[in-house]
Amino acid sequence: MNILQTILIRIAYAIILLLAVLVLNFSLMHLAPGDVADTISQSMGGADQEILDEIRRDYGLDKPFYIQLGTYIGKVLQFDLGHSFFYNESVTELIMQRLPATLLLVITAQILALFIGVVLGVISARRPNGIVSHFVTFLALFGYSAPVFWTGILLLIGFSLQIQWFPVAGMRDVTISGGFFVHFIDVVRHMVLPVITLSSIFLALYSRLARATMMEVLGSDYVRTAKAKGLTQREVVYKHALKNSLSPVITLAGLQFSAVISGAVLVETVFSWPGLGTLAFQSIIARDTPTILGILFFSALVVIVGNLLTDLALRLVDPRVGGKG
Amino acid sequence: MKFAKFTLAATLLASALATGGAFAEEPKRGGTLVTVLGTNVRNLNSAVQSGIVTGYPGAQLFASPLRYDEDWTPKPYLAKSWSVSDDGLKVTLNLVENATFHDGHPITSSDVKFSVKVIQENHPFKSMFAPVKSVDTPDDHTAILNLSRPHPALMLAMSGQLMSIIPEHIYGDGQNPKTHPRNNKDVVGSGPFKLVEFKNGEHIILERYDGFFIEGRPYLDKIVMRIISDPAARAIAYENGEVHMGAFESLPRIINRLKKVKGLTVTPDGYGAIGPLDWLAINTTKGPLKDKRVRQAIAYAVDKKFILKAIMQGTAVEANTGIHPDSPFYEADVETYALDLDKANALLDEAGFAKGGDGMRFGVTIDFGWPGVKPQVEYVKGALKKIGINVTVRASADFPTWAKRMGTMDFDLSWDTVFNWGDPAIGVHRTYLTSNIAKGVWSNTQGYSNARVDELLDMAARENDPAKRKALYSEFQKIVADEVPLYFTNALPYHTVYSDKVGNPPLGIWGTSTPIDMTYLKE
């Protein structure tokens, strides 16, 4: 089977999968008691029955379920994610407004975690029973098990309140004025704490995986050969072993990346980071169906496209993958 | 030396007192006030969107005919004067002549007429302008509201965020005002500040409108409203000075912590008109709860003092009726149901619910709509067990789930928080009128019906004489306290936090839902 055929089949699967995601989520949202009219009335401090009915009429919530679902799917097929009930804005626009902030946060945290994680993993693999190794293990377990909202608040108390190095919330300080460089530094200062918080979870995963694969590789035949040639320990580890031990870590990073949105929800909420995570959280609270579905649709799309690209990349890199299938 | 300083201070103080308030410092022009909102804003157009979150930006962008400060007497704002006809059926507003919208168009009586129509059709509080039949505009600066009956609630309804004057030439283009594209973008308002930028989920930036109709105001150049939804993060922002002011902080632990911070003032002033109250709602149509004695027994068993001390940690004030304690209509002399388990048990025995073999009489459920009130709910469960009522806590997945249960009266007991919204006719009557039973969340969800209460509320809604009105509301509060469709515990402990740098923060009856044109930054 050639690559083009594979891609076409995968795209066909992807479309079916996306539709399934939408129908399933739409039905789930519909099954929950209450609707957005209640949350709109909450945001207004209560409303008369008349107003509630009007809101439901305005958004077509008074129609039978299958008509609502049909209308929605019909719109999506025309690449229209609809209008947010709660914010009265186009869902696509809402998502696009928030996406850059989330990407900035998640990509930075991922790169940082990947880099530090691998370094820590390798160091601890070289002396699996040394003090450094135990310390890294402890750090990894702690980072992975401590809830991010707790880590986040702790960092805030330490570095925004006790030592006032970093700002508390948001992505920029709207009261400062200056050129590009001033604003760049401002955003970087706002990023430090959320990035550390978010990368603490990823860091644990990467350092543990890097440690395990490195230890495995270090015990393999070619490493013994390299040692026998008389290479130094440093050369063996960084020139020969590291390359081979990295591939599982990179695969994991690819998988983790699909979780762009889910991973950021809590961190974004604690730091009021104006990204997709906070939007997702607020929309769920508000029962804003079009926005929730839009975000889910978008995340599903990211996952599917990400997997497709990973597959293709593996085919190109490693001829053994998918040779016949 | 020390003594000399003391005498100097004393002399200064004495002379200040003698001249009467010369102590107040001169407000300063300029500066950017950084404030904080706890929730994302849905809509900036306060003529169609109510609520405390829209109230703050809404009252800066749009002016109303009247305004109030700390006492409950109306003051001129967009209306320089007003009069009510003797029969109470005509309210004449004389508008200031130099007022303009942010695009320079003059504000005229036809804008007032238009705004009343938009509010009548779109605002969630129908009772505010329901009696207004028509608005006459004999000239550009006179608007006459013709009423079908006397309507004393109109005074408060014409202030704060409740009657925003919006431009007819923008919103009168035939589009639905609720979803109008100019509600959140390029807003043309009538208030002291104009919109610079509204970034959903991030911030709202307002700047001084130079053409504002009050000479020399507003004092501030800019207001930044940051949106920080996490209360702990907000608290840190107050503490480290990133934010100058914020309102509606209600978590006791955070309030008490911020009170100890130097350079910050934390005050419960400024919430009288919004009037937020916590109470235990009782479905008076269900099983044993139909019996007044059972409801009274519940009241005697739930210790208000415990809620105030242990759960509210001293941050909330006691409230014994459905009218906020700060309101001039509050009646303090009602049955308060101080803890009395013997009386509670006796009442239940008398009502015919004897204890069973296991010491229990009957079972009820208790609901709650948001996680913040879970401690109250758990406490009620424990408290009622002592008098043989078995309480099962029913959690709701989220607000709409709970709202649905309340709106359809599918509950026995529930913790609830409801706001007065200015005049009792706007936010109080809805909870007790027979005609408003089970009309969605925050209607008369208790199924309470008492002909005398209906009559009293109806009379109070049309009584223009303040003293007579107060008497009507007193009787109403006494009846409700006796029949316990709701067991009132406390006012919600909303607090405003502001730094020492802020001069004249908005602490009037409407809190931040008023124009802050007199607020300034020191130094």
With beta carbons less than 8 A apart as the criterion, state whether B128 and B119 touch: yes
User: Å from B237 to nearest chain A CA?
Assistant: 6
pLDDT at residue number B14 = 44
- Residue A129 shares a structural domain with residue A206: yes
- Residue A145 shares a structural domain with residue A58: no
Question: Is residue B516 domain-resident?
Answer: yes
Chain B residues within an 8 Å CB radius of A43: 39, 42, 49, 51, 53-54
**Percent of chain B whose predicted confidence (pLDDT) is above 70:** 95
- Of A66-75, A139-148, A307-316, the least confident: A307-316
Residue B13, pLDDT above cutoff 60: no
Best of B37, B236, B243 to substitute, by most chain A Cβ atoms within 10 angstroms, is B236
Question: Is residue B64 domain-resident?
Answer: yes
CATH number at residue A242: 1.10.3720.10
- The structural domain count of chain A equals 2
A45 vs B51, B203, B440: nearest CB: B51
Greater confidence, B190 or A75?
Answer: B190
Tokens for B488?
């009132």
The answer to whether B242 contacts A36, with C-beta atoms less than 8 Å apart, is no
* Secondary structure class of A279 (helix, strand, coil): helix
Burial of B379 (0-12, 13-18, 19+ CB in 10 A): middle
Question: Is residue B249 domain-resident?
Answer: yes
Question: Is residue A125 domain-resident?
Answer: yes
pLDDT at residue number A1 = 57
pLDDT digits (tens, 9 = 90+) for A179-189: 888 888 999 99
- Residue A104 shares a structural domain with residue A177: yes
B440: nearest CA partner in chain A = A49
A31 touches chain B (CB under 8 A): no
pLDDT at residue number A111 = 87
pLDDT at residue number B24 = 58
Q: Which of residues 103 through 142 in chain A touch B, CB cutoff 8 A?
A: none
Greater confidence, B9 or B501?
Answer: B501
Contact pairs from chain A to chain B, CB under 8 Å: 165
Chain B residues within an 8 Å CB radius of A278: 201, 229
- Residue B342 shares a structural domain with residue B386: yes
pLDDT at residue number B12 = 45
A36: nearest CA partner in chain B = B400
Nearest one of B162, B50, B34, B27 to B497, comparing CA atoms: B34
Question: Residue A202 — very low, low, confident or very high, per pLDDT cuts 50/70/90?
Answer: confident
Angle at A34 between CA A28 and CA A37, to 5 degrees: 115
Nearest one of B278, B323, B246 to B512, comparing CA atoms: B246
- Of A98-112, B128-142, B152-166, B283-297, the least confident: A98-112
Q: Rounded mean pLDDT of B218-233?
A: 93
Question: Is residue A323 domain-resident?
Answer: no
- Residue A243 shares a structural domain with residue A138: yes
Tokens for B66?
């009247």
pLDDT at residue number A320 = 61
- Residue B197 shares a structural domain with residue B294: no
Question: Could you tell me the residue range of the domain that residue A260 belongs to?
Answer: 97-317
- Residue B380 shares a structural domain with residue B442: yes
- Residue B182 shares a structural domain with residue B312: no
pLDDT at residue number A322 = 57
Cα–Cα distance between A312 and A316 in angstroms, integer?
6
Cα–Cα distance between B80 and B71 in angstroms, integer?
19
Question: Is residue B84 domain-resident?
Answer: yes
Torsions phi, psi for B485 (to 5 deg): -70, -20
Cα–Cα distance between B181 and A89 in angstroms, integer?
9
The answer to whether A50 contacts B126, with C-beta atoms less than 8 Å apart, is yes
pLDDT at residue number A138 = 86
pLDDT at residue number B437 = 93
- Bridge-partner residues for B502, per DSSP? B521
With beta carbons less than 8 A apart as the criterion, state whether B284 and B290 touch: yes
Residue B518, pLDDT above cutoff 70: yes
Question: Is residue B15 domain-resident?
Answer: no
- Residue B378 shares a structural domain with residue B427: yes
What is the number of other CB atoms lying within 10 angstroms of the CB of residue A221?
Answer: 7
- Residue B329 shares a structural domain with residue B195: no
Question: Is residue B14 domain-resident?
Answer: no
Question: Is residue B16 domain-resident?
Answer: no
- Residue B263 shares a structural domain with residue B241: yes
What is the DSSP annotation of A18-87?
HHHHHHHHHHHHHHSSS-HHHHHHHHTT---HHHHHHHHHHTTTTS-HHHHHHHHHHHHHTT---B-TTT
Cα–Cα distance between A86 and A281 in angstroms, integer?
13
pLDDT digits (tens, 9 = 90+) for B367-424: 998 888 999 999 999 999 999 999 999 988 888 889 889 989 999 999 999 999 999 9
Q: Which of A89-98, A252-261, B40-49, B447-456 has the highest mean pLDDT?
A: B447-456
Q: Rounded mean pLDDT of A288-297?
A: 88
- Residue A78 shares a structural domain with residue A150: no
pLDDT digits (tens, 9 = 90+) for B19-73: 444 445 789 999 999 999 998 888 999 999 988 999 999 999 999 999 998 889 9
Burial of B179 (0-12, 13-18, 19+ CB in 10 A): middle
pLDDT at residue number A259 = 65
pLDDT at residue number B507 = 94
Q: Rounded mean pLDDT of A165-190?
A: 86
B401 touches chain A (CB under 8 A): yes
B261 touches chain A (CB under 8 A): no
Contacts of B113 (CB under 8 A, 6+ apart): B135, B137, B143
B371 touches chain A (CB under 8 A): no
Question: Residue A321 — very low, low, confident or very high, per pLDDT cuts 50/70/90?
Answer: low
Chain A residues within an 8 Å CB radius of B125: 46-48
Best of A29, A39, A40, A43 to substitute, by most chain B Cβ atoms within 10 angstroms, is A43
Helix (H) or strand (E) holding B308: none
A38 vs B205, B226, B441: nearest CB: B441
Question: Is residue A322 domain-resident?
Answer: no
pLDDT at residue number A314 = 66
- Residue B62 shares a structural domain with residue B174: yes
- Residue A201 shares a structural domain with residue A305: yes
Residue A162, pLDDT above cutoff 50: yes
CATH number at residue B88: 3.40.190.10
pLDDT at residue number B17 = 43
The DSSP secondary-structure symbol of B26 reads P
pLDDT at residue number A114 = 86
Q: Rounded mean pLDDT of A3-24?
A: 85
- Residue A204 shares a structural domain with residue A280: yes
- Residue A278 shares a structural domain with residue A149: yes
Residue A234, pLDDT above cutoff 90: no
Q: Rounded mean pLDDT of A85-92?
A: 86
- Residue A103 shares a structural domain with residue A78: no
With beta carbons less than 8 A apart as the criterion, state whether A223 and A240 touch: yes
- The structural domain count of chain B equals 2
pLDDT digits (tens, 9 = 90+) for B98-127: 999 999 999 999 999 999 999 999 998 888
pLDDT at residue number B5 = 45
Mean confidence (pLDDT) of chain B: 92
Q: Which of A95-109, A222-236, B243-257 has the highest mean pLDDT?
A: B243-257
Question: Is residue B93 domain-resident?
Answer: yes
What is the number of other CB atoms lying within 10 angstroms of the CB of residue A17?
Answer: 14
Cis-peptide, bond into residue B218, ω within 30° of zero: yes
Q: Which of A77-81, A284-288, B496-500 has the highest mean pLDDT?
A: B496-500
- Residue B336 shares a structural domain with residue B204: no
Mean confidence (pLDDT) of chain A: 83
Domain finish residue from A42, A68, A91:
A91
The DSSP secondary-structure symbol of A288 reads -
Q: Rounded mean pLDDT of B223-247?
A: 93
User: Å from A81 to nearest chain B CA?
Assistant: 18
With beta carbons less than 8 A apart as the criterion, state whether B228 and A169 touch: yes
Cα separations in angstroms, B502 against B219, B259, B269, B356, B483:
12, 16, 15, 61, 46
pTM: 0.87
CA B156 to mean position of chain CA atoms = 12
- Bridge-partner residues for B249, per DSSP? B495
B53 vs A43, A89, A269: nearest CB: A43
Q: Rounded mean pLDDT of A253-274?
A: 77
Q: Which of A75-89, A120-134, A233-247, B384-398 has the highest mean pLDDT?
A: B384-398
What is the DSSP annotation of B353-378?
----TTS--EEEEEEESSGGGHHHHH
ipTM above 0.90, yes or no: no
- Residue A106 shares a structural domain with residue A247: yes
pLDDT at residue number B262 = 94
Chain B residues within an 8 Å CB radius of A279: 201
- Residue B479 shares a structural domain with residue B500: no
Domain finish residue from A60, A91, A122:
A91
Tokens for A54?
């009007």
- Residue A78 shares a structural domain with residue A203: no
Residue B8, pLDDT above cutoff 50: no
- Bridge-partner residues for B245, per DSSP? B35, B498
Q: How many residues does chain A have?
A: 325
- Residue B134 shares a structural domain with residue B215: yes
What is the number of other CB atoms lying within 10 angstroms of the CB of residue B262?
Answer: 6
Question: Could you tell me the residue range of the domain that residue B391 belongs to?
Answer: 276-491
- Residue B241 shares a structural domain with residue B321: no
Domain finish residue from A33, A65, A91:
A91
CATH number at residue B380: 3.10.105.10
Q: Rounded mean pLDDT of A278-297?
A: 88
- Residue A74 shares a structural domain with residue A111: no
pLDDT at residue number B474 = 97
Q: Rounded mean pLDDT of B285-297?
A: 96
